[in-house]
Amino acid sequence: MATRKILFLICTVFCFLAPSQTQTSARDMDQIRGAMEFLASDALQGRGSGTHDELLAATYLASQLRQIGIEPAGDGGGYLQNVAGEFNFYREGKKQWNTRNVIGVLHGSDAKLKDEVVLLTAHLDHVGLQTAVNGDNIYNGADDDASGCVAVLQFARALAQKQAPRRTVLFVFFGSEETGGQGNQYFLEHPPVPLKNIVANLEFEMIGRADSAVKPDELWLTGYDRSNLGPELAKHGAKLVADPHPRQNFFQRSDNYALARQGVVAQTVSSFGLHPDYHRPSDDVAHIDFAHMEQAIHSMIGPVEWLANSDFKPEWLEGKKP
Ligand SMILES: [Zn+2]
């Protein structure tokens, strides 16, 4: 009897539990690799801001949201938000521009909390075709920011598989971040929900490689000491620490900043270790550390689910609102 019981236990642990856990992780890894190998492929020619290649990336992300079961929240019942008009640029001032954002929504299930929105974002463009380095002129942007886009897709997948969260979750991929955030400017002028309803924005930027300035399994949050969002996420399992590169001003260097300027608690999650492939053709799939990336995404799923189900409203700390 005892022997049988032990055999049964051994079988339960090794024949059922272990393989199914391995399969889940292998499937996550395949989803991550599959999406990265398309978005950062040479076929997309670096997803240049405002180009047809950027539109291909947007269309792919929209198609993925549909497959995952996230509802469209863009123009005319679709996922794409067409961004057209005159926009601010870094050096050239104002210019006519056309880009697209991709917007999906998972409606909250709680009568009171469903009007509160958690916004998960990444930017879908990169710098496109530029001066060749060692004969390669395609700036693939695998880390920057295909990795962030894939993270947002994986959060969508995780949330869509479960009972709808109490709060509403918006999944947004911004176009033309690299040229100054034109997609983001338009989004702020034409938000799919009132901006005051957005309780938090987490932007994901460059999580495809580990940062040696923090522990191997850690991610950092820009403006960590500006709000109580990072510490609260860390309390709920996120491996989040303060940005170890304050002199780089990363808090101001992504799409979160324009939202923060509008009052939204908006911060960027990253593990960018200032690697030399940044904005070079060598920021490609071959340089992605998939084990790190999978672990990074996995480590944020629980905390993101907690935020989407809690009634905790993050706040800027006194005098730290940008
Ligand atoms: Zn970026």
pLDDT tens digits along 116-165: 999 999 999 999 999 999 999 999 999 999 999 999 999 999 999 999 99
Question: Three-state DSSP class for 11?
Answer: helix
Q: How far is the CA of 239 from the centre of ligand 1 (A)?
A: 21
Predicted pLDDT at 251: 95
pLDDT tens digits along 213-234: 999 999 999 999 999 999 999 9
Percent of the chain with pLDDT over 90: 90
Q: How far is the CA of 85 from the centre of ligand 1 (A)?
A: 23
pLDDT tens digits along 182-203: 999 999 999 999 999 999 999 9
Q: How far is the CA of 145 from the centre of ligand 1 (A)?
A: 5
Nearest to 274 by CA among 177, 225, 206: 206
Q: pTM value?
A: 0.93
Q: How far is the CA of 124 from the centre of ligand 1 (A)?
A: 9
Q: How far is the CA of 317 from the centre of ligand 1 (A)?
A: 26
Q: How far is the CA of 228 from the centre of ligand 1 (A)?
A: 24
Q: How far is the CA of 72 from the centre of ligand 1 (A)?
A: 24
DSSP annotation of 316: B
Residues facing residue 121 across a β-bridge:
172, 203
| Residues whose CB falls within 8 Å of the CB of residue 174, separated by 6 or more in sequence, listed in order | 101, 121, 122, 123, 124, 125, 181, 183, 184, 187, 255
pLDDT band with cut points at 50, 70 and 90 for residue 170: very high
Q: How far is the CA of 93 from the centre of ligand 1 (A)?
A: 21
Q: How far is the CA of 71 from the centre of ligand 1 (A)?
A: 26
pLDDT band with cut points at 50, 70 and 90 for residue 1: very low
Judge whether residue 17 has pLDDT over 70: no
CA pair distance 91, 180, nearest whole angstrom? 9
Q: How far is the CA of 178 from the centre of ligand 1 (A)?
A: 7
Predicted pLDDT at 218: 97
pLDDT band with cut points at 50, 70 and 90 for residue 19: very low
Q: How far is the CA of 204 from the centre of ligand 1 (A)?
A: 9
Predicted pLDDT at 5: 52
Q: How far is the CA of 206 from the centre of ligand 1 (A)?
A: 7
Query: Are 103 and 183 in contact, with CB atoms under 8 Å apart?
Result: no
Judge whether residue 179 has pLDDT over 50: yes
Q: How far is the CA of 293 from the centre of ligand 1 (A)?
A: 16
Cα-to-chain-centroid distance, residue 312: 21
Place of tokens 């989040």: 240
The pLDDT of 239-265, averaged and rounded, is 95
The mean pLDDT of the chain is 93
Percent of the chain with pLDDT over 70: 93
pLDDT tens digits along 30-72: 999 999 999 999 999 999 999 999 999 999 999 999 999 999 9
Q: How far is the CA of 13 from the centre of ligand 1 (A)?
A: 43
Nearest to 222 by CA among 118, 320, 123: 320
Q: How far is the CA of 131 from the centre of ligand 1 (A)?
A: 19
Judge whether residue 282 has pLDDT over 70: yes
Q: How far is the CA of 254 from the centre of ligand 1 (A)?
A: 7
Q: How far is the CA of 305 from the centre of ligand 1 (A)?
A: 24
Q: How far is the CA of 165 from the centre of ligand 1 (A)?
A: 28
CA pair distance 72, 102, nearest whole angstrom? 9
